[in-house]
């Protein structure tokens, strides 16, 4: 079955440091890939997504590129802020009809950014 | 983005009692709702998928008589944990979608069974 593996946390960085959170996946078809963020006390929010190979999703300074050859979707940000402290989830959904299909999640990576 | 409200955010109940968790889409009609469960330091695991007006589809290994899901309207789905036991203690999260939109998530419910 489908699976998502992401690096364990917590990841602790100083403000303005470069961030990478690794994510690799296993899927039988051609999945859509997502990064979700969960701030303390809130629900998961979609951060960015990519629906086909070589697509780059970006939002709020975060980027991730859908790499089919390495089955990866690593999350990056050039300069993190304290407000980026949250738990980040990598996820996939099989096929394009994403509204009707559940997501397969990674275990989440907690990011702590220190001033 | 659209708002999904999940209630309660935390609940403590005694072993053997039942607990109901509500998931509401506040500003859109949710044709499909999903219920997930998250154990500490683990992934969100899909429990069931429910479409408005029809029976929920449960994932393998999830007891449908223990985790009752009702999706009676386009804005409300409920998960009832019946005869709860300490091993049911977990974080439960719902998400809702409309047609082919992205999934919108509730803030989750922390259930503790004592």
Residues A33-78 have pLDDT tens digits of 999 999 887 888 999 999 999 999 999 999 999 999 999 999 999 9
Cβ atoms within 10 Å, residue A19: 18
Residue B44's closest CA among A23, A103, A88, A42? A103
pLDDT digits (tens, 9 = 90+) for A3-35: 999 988 899 999 999 999 999 999 988 899 999
Show residues of chain B in contact with A97, CB under 8 Å: 100
Residue A92's closest CA among A79, A82, A77, A102? A102
Task: Report which of residues B102 and B91 the model is more confident about.
Answer: B91
Mean pLDDT of chain B: 91
Residue A55 to chain B, least CA–CA distance (Å):
17
Question: Which tokens in the block code for residue B13?
Answer: 């109940």
Contact yes or no for B43 and A4 at CB 8 A: yes
Is the confidence at residue B1, as pLDDT, over 80?
no
CA distance A22 to B10: 31
CA distance A86 to A112: 7
Q: Is B88 helix (H, G, I), strand (E, B) or coil?
A: helix
CA distance A26 to A4: 6
Question: Which tokens in the block code for residue B114?
Answer: 């004592």
- The answer to whether B14 faces chain A, any CB pair under 8 Å, is no
Cβ atoms within 10 Å, residue A31: 28
Query: What is the pLDDT averaged over residues A82-106?
Result: 84
Is the confidence at residue B103, as pLDDT, over 90?
no
Task: Report which of residues A68 and B31 the model is more confident about.
Answer: A68
């Amino acid at each position: 079955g489908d699976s998502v593996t992401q690096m364990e946390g917590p990841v602790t960085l100083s403000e303005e440091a470069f961030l990478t959170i690794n994510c690799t996946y296993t899927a039988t078809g051609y999945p859509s890939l997502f990064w979700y963020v969960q701030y303390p006390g809130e629900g998961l929010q979609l951060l960015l997504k990519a629906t086909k190979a070589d697509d780059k999703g970006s939002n709020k300074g975060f980027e991730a590129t859908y790499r089919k050859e390495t089955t990866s979707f690593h999350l990056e940000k050039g300069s993190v802020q304290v407000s980026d402290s949250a738990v980040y989830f990598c996820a996939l959904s099989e096929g394009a009809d994403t509204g009707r299909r559940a997501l397969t999640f990674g275990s989440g990576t907690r990011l702590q950014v220190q001033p | 983005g659209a708002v999904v409200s999940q209630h309660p955010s935390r609940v403590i109940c005694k072993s053997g009692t039942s607990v109901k968790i509500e998931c509401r889409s506040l500003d859109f009609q949710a044709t499909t709702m999903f219920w997930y469960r998250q154990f500490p330091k683990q992934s969100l695991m899909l429990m069931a998928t429910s479409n408005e007006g029809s029976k929920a589809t449960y994932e393998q290994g999830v007891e449908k008589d223990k985790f009752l899901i009702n999706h009676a309207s386009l804005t409300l789905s409920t998960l009832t944990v019946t005869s709860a036991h300490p091993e049911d203690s977990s974080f439960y999260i719902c998400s809702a979608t409309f047609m082919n939109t992205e999934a919108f998530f509730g803030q989750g419910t922390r259930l503790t069974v004592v």
